[in-house]
Structure 1
């Protein structure tokens, strides 16, 4: 009587290892995104994760996909927060609160953006578009409420907010006073001339 051939190793174990390696690589990439002047290379991510570079590439298919997943993971709560504020507060109040939180987020992660040029980041691109749409909704609502001026092109106002917020976030050393000044000047500039003195708080 012949001896039965040995059974292959069960697939679930291999899948569990792949899931674990993917999470380790993702956590490492997110940690490096928050560290200024750190190169976002596959080798650096692999070293932080305690994995081989080939394992990291295999887990995601390449550096672009890994960074896209990591940045998307960071942006998702920011977009969710913007949507929550729109649902919970008046548009102008939502805008004031969100701008301060946006500067804080960009201060923590702006250094990584310099290394993302030329990468294929579809999930990140989609979330950034969602973020812009949320800010535009805040501006549109505040404009309808008479809280901000109506003579500025909406797209231009959104670009102004994004560009200046990033500039403040990049300031070295970072300063809460600079953030306060930025918000005061920006919101004063956006405010409708017809707004009552009681509406002038930020």
Structure 2
């Protein structure tokens, strides 16, 4: 039994969707940029109604753009888990996560209250990957076991975000954060 094929989109609709998504991605990378339909449309060279039509609304457009940003981050976390020890994966990933958050931290402030199901799912995947890293490191004896894993994950995430928001971004601050955090998570001798 065959299923009906999804209707083909017109070439101009596909192009407009790509232009709007590319414009949103560009704006996401600009600190302080307004993530409005009008700003995205202006950047894409489209009308606001065309942008809305291409995605069905601002929430869907931003969900697609932020998801596109987060997918490689989640994939990288999973790759690190497969390639190395959980503790080494955590150490490497935290450095990369801070760099990512430094480049995109202003985005969070503009996403509050929006319906972003794909982004929410990817954030959950990201938290799960960090939890897997910390739990694996705990089992290996590289991280202390007297702290609740959820507390460790929250501590890591919130502190990494705070470091990422530091202005100007500082590699010395990132290095100090990683040293203090990871030393603090090591089991007592």
Specify the alignment match of 1:143 in structure 2. 138
Q: Deviations over 1:97-119 (max 9, x none)?
A: 00000000000000111011100
Q: Is 1:28 paired with 2:46?
A: no
Q: Looking at CA atoms only, which structure, 1 or 2, has the larger radius of gyration?
A: 1
State the shift of 1:141 in Å.
0.4
Task: Give TM-score, length-normalised by structure 2.
Answer: 0.95
Q: Deviations over 1:30-80 (max 9, x none)?
A: 110111111100000001011110000000000000000000000000000
Q: Is 1:38 paired with 2:33?
A: yes
Task: Write out aligned runs for 1:160-175 (5 A).
Answer: 160-175=155-170
Specify the alignment match of 2:178 in structure 1. 183
Write the distance in 1 (CA, Å) between the matches of 2:10 and 2:56.
Answer: 16
Among candidates 33, 44, 49, match of residue 49 of structure 1: 44
- List structure 1 segments (4+ residues) > 4 angstroms apart after TM superposition: none
Task: Give TM-score, length-normalised by structure 1.
Answer: 0.89
Task: Write out aligned runs for 1:7-156 (5 A).
Answer: 15-156=10-151
Write the distance in 1 (CA, Å) between the matches of 2:157 and 2:141.
Answer: 22
State the shift of 1:16 in Å.
1.1
State the shift of 1:136 in Å.
0.2
Write the distance in 2 (CA, Å) between the matches of 1:154 and 1:77.
Answer: 25
Write the distance in 2 (CA, Å) between the matches of 1:88 and 1:180.
Answer: 23
Write the distance in 2 (CA, Å) between the matches of 1:85 and 1:74.
Answer: 18
What SS is found at the alignment partner of 2:167? coil
Specify the alignment match of 1:199 in structure 2. none
Specify the alignment match of 1:197 in structure 2. none
What SS is found at the alignment partner of 1:114? helix
Task: Structure 2: give runs of 5+ residues left out of the alignment.
Answer: 1-6
| Matched pairs, number | 183
State the shift of 1:192 in Å.
1.3
Write the distance in 1 (CA, Å) between the matches of 2:85 and 2:32.
Answer: 39
